A and B are shown apart, each in its own frame.
Chain A
């Protein structure tokens, strides 16, 4: 009885919010697959006909000078970032999950505290450092910044992943004659793999989406968002919309793969 009126209202609100989230994404997709006339006309149409649908706008964007190079740069940055943050972060996460040691709380607090710092500002001072190191305007330089941004999350996420992998199995392996290293490689690691994969995808999305740092740290070798943001002012509508759609989609696709983990990593479960 309590929920007779409440349930309808709850659905109504839920669907309204869902529409608010989905419709703008639908609209940018509409633009990205529209002809030039379709993009520039007013009033706009909310649906394609056979005449207005085209892949030419996306092709135009893809063949625009420097776009393919910037996509390659974006993927390279994301790749290096993933390797670095997993390579540095996973051992730390494992240590936090498995050992009690002097200073573990201090370390954990330090990692949490990084969230209270504005990462945006790292880019400006890093440029001067990079110039002395000779890695200014390189993929590696941007990847190092992205690693600094992703590492705290990677550490906390891998820690929670390894906490979820029972120590009993590892202990059993040890009693059966495995070394610590073997026990980790043959027991804990395979069990933690899906969680680590999810964390990897978060790192990819973070790096693929990051704008400010990449725009500051690159000039001739920009990542895709850095290229877009510096060219936005002088570019045509079709370039903008196709570009916006192009950065949006990979992130969305990847998130679909990890949506189950997204929730468990943030501690949300649906019972």
Chain B
């Protein structure tokens, strides 16, 4: 309950407000109820499934998850993808946002093109990049055409022999697919900065980099934070890109959850993975909300 709501409630005239309360409640209740049943409760249930069996509380499912030989690689790969993808996305998205907000002729067209991947599913993105990275794919063709590799020779980008190369292909596909949303959020942030600020800095002779570092980026902080949490939490759920590109050779957390559920038919261990993704995401969200609150207090 924020201070705004309290201030706007007229004192000594309770009747219209309580009528509003009733109408609003009627309009909100169905959606709230739905989200409790299909959003909040399954979150709780994921944790219960992970730590409970027929006899009550148990750590056996969590132990099975942690002791599984794929657990370490899955955790490491997911973390590596996030650490590699997110900085790349933010740099690229910032460049894209700066290009569009330069308001040159054709900016509108660029804006639409930059936003296209928002509609692309992770599965489609994985298949698209599979057509490029597979050993008889477009990348090897291109490398042969420009003479970077000898004729007839191929680089096995998707071979599971080279884990890091494989991870690299996933990173490229993720950057391609999911930078657009960061771009849109950053562009919205950039456009909400009054133009006077930038003009004033220009009048005083600030260079492009000075204006970027000292004027734009500090004012973009809220947008950056929103985009950061959104992307981080989505990145923990990376799934179909990995299957389409690596056939599952690169283990990631959500792929493990799927494998335990589908192939090994153990919903408890699958739920343990789900709970792990939930807990990590909550920690990230908590850090994020804390930063926001500190920022609000500063203002």
Query: Which residues in window 97-111 of B have CB below 8 A to A?
Result: 98-100, 102-104, 106-108, 110-111
Judge whether A155 and B116 touch: CB under 8 Å.
Answer: no
Given contacts A107-B28, A114-B39, contact A215 B34 (CB under 8 A): no
Interface assignment of A160: CB less than 8 Å from any CB of chain B = no
Judge whether A266 and B188 touch: CB under 8 Å.
Answer: yes
Given contacts A122-B38, A129-B45, contact A211 B24 (CB under 8 A): no
Q: Which of A92, A119, A212 contacts B240 (CB 8 A)?
A: A212
Q: Which of A84, A95, A225, A270 contacts B23 (CB 8 A)?
A: A95
Q: Which chain B residues lie closer than 8 Å to A103 at the CB level?
A: 1, 5
Q: What per-residue 1/0 map shows which CB atoms of B278-299 lie under 8 Å from chain A?
A: 1001101100110000000000
Interface assignment of B145: CB less than 8 Å from any CB of chain A = yes
Q: Which of A38-46, A48-56, A164-172, A192-200 contacts B (4 or more CB under 8 A)?
A: A38-46
Q: Which chain A residues lie closer than 8 Å to B17 at the CB level?
A: 101
Q: What per-residue 1/0 map shows which CB atoms of B1-22 lie under 8 Å from chain A?
A: 1101100110000000100110
Judge whether A17 and B42 touch: CB under 8 Å.
Answer: no
| Shortest Cβ distance from residue B61 to the other chain A in the assembled complex, whole angstroms | 12
| Shortest Cβ distance from residue B18 to the other chain A in the assembled complex, whole angstroms | 9
Judge whether A270 and B111 touch: CB under 8 Å.
Answer: yes
Judge whether A148 and B45 touch: CB under 8 Å.
Answer: no
Q: Which of B99, B140, B271 contacts A10 (CB 8 A)?
A: B99
Q: Which chain A residues lie closer than 8 Å to B132 at the CB level?
A: 24, 27
Judge whether B99 and A119 touch: CB under 8 Å.
Answer: no
Judge whether A28 and B21 touch: CB under 8 Å.
Answer: no
Q: Which of B63-71, B118-126, B161-169, B213-221 contacts A (4 or more CB under 8 A)?
A: B118-126
Q: What per-residue 1/0 map shows which CB atoms of A231-271 lie under 8 Å from chain B?
A: 01100010011011101100110110001001100111111
Q: Which chain A residues lie closer than 8 Å to B20 at the CB level?
A: 99-101
Judge whether A233 and B248 touch: CB under 8 Å.
Answer: yes
Interface assignment of B60: CB less than 8 Å from any CB of chain A = no
Interface assignment of A13: CB less than 8 Å from any CB of chain B = yes
Q: How far, in angstroms, from A101 to B285 measured CA to CA in the complex?
A: 27
Looking across the interface, which residue of chain A has its beta carbon closest to that of B102? A10
Where chain B touches its partner, the secondary structure class is helix
Judge whether A17 and B128 touch: CB under 8 Å.
Answer: no
Judge whether A270 and B108 touch: CB under 8 Å.
Answer: yes
Query: Which residues in window 162-212 of B have CB below 8 A to A?
Result: 176, 184-185, 187-188, 191-192, 202, 208
Interface assignment of A69: CB less than 8 Å from any CB of chain B = no
Judge whether A211 and B121 touch: CB under 8 Å.
Answer: yes
Interface assignment of A57: CB less than 8 Å from any CB of chain B = no
Q: What per-residue 1/0 map shows which CB atoms of B74-108 lie under 8 Å from chain A?
A: 00000000000000000010011011101110111
Judge whether A147 and B34 touch: CB under 8 Å.
Answer: yes
**Most chain A CB neighbours (cut-off 10 Å) among B98, B208, B258:** B258
| Shortest Cβ distance from residue B17 to the other chain A in the assembled complex, whole angstroms | 8
Judge whether A144 and B5 touch: CB under 8 Å.
Answer: no
Judge whether B43 and A17 touch: CB under 8 Å.
Answer: no
A contacts, CB < 8 Å to B: 2, 6-7, 10-11, 13-14, 17-18, 20-22, 24-25, 27-28, 31, 40-44, 46, 84, 87-89, 91-92, 94-96, 99-107, 110, 113-122, 124-129, 144-145, 147-148, 151-152, 155, 205, 208-212, 215-216, 225, 228-230, 232-233, 237, 240-241, 243-245, 247-248, 251-252, 254-255, 259, 262-263, 266-271
B contacts, CB < 8 Å to A: 1-2, 4-5, 8-9, 17, 20-21, 23-25, 27-28, 30-32, 34-35, 38-39, 42-43, 45-46, 48-49, 92, 95-96, 98-100, 102-104, 106-108, 110-124, 126-132, 134-138, 140-141, 144-145, 154, 176, 184-185, 187-188, 191-192, 202, 208, 229-230, 233, 236-237, 239-240, 243-244, 247-248, 254, 257-258, 261-262, 267, 270-271, 274-275, 277-278, 281-282, 284-285, 288-289
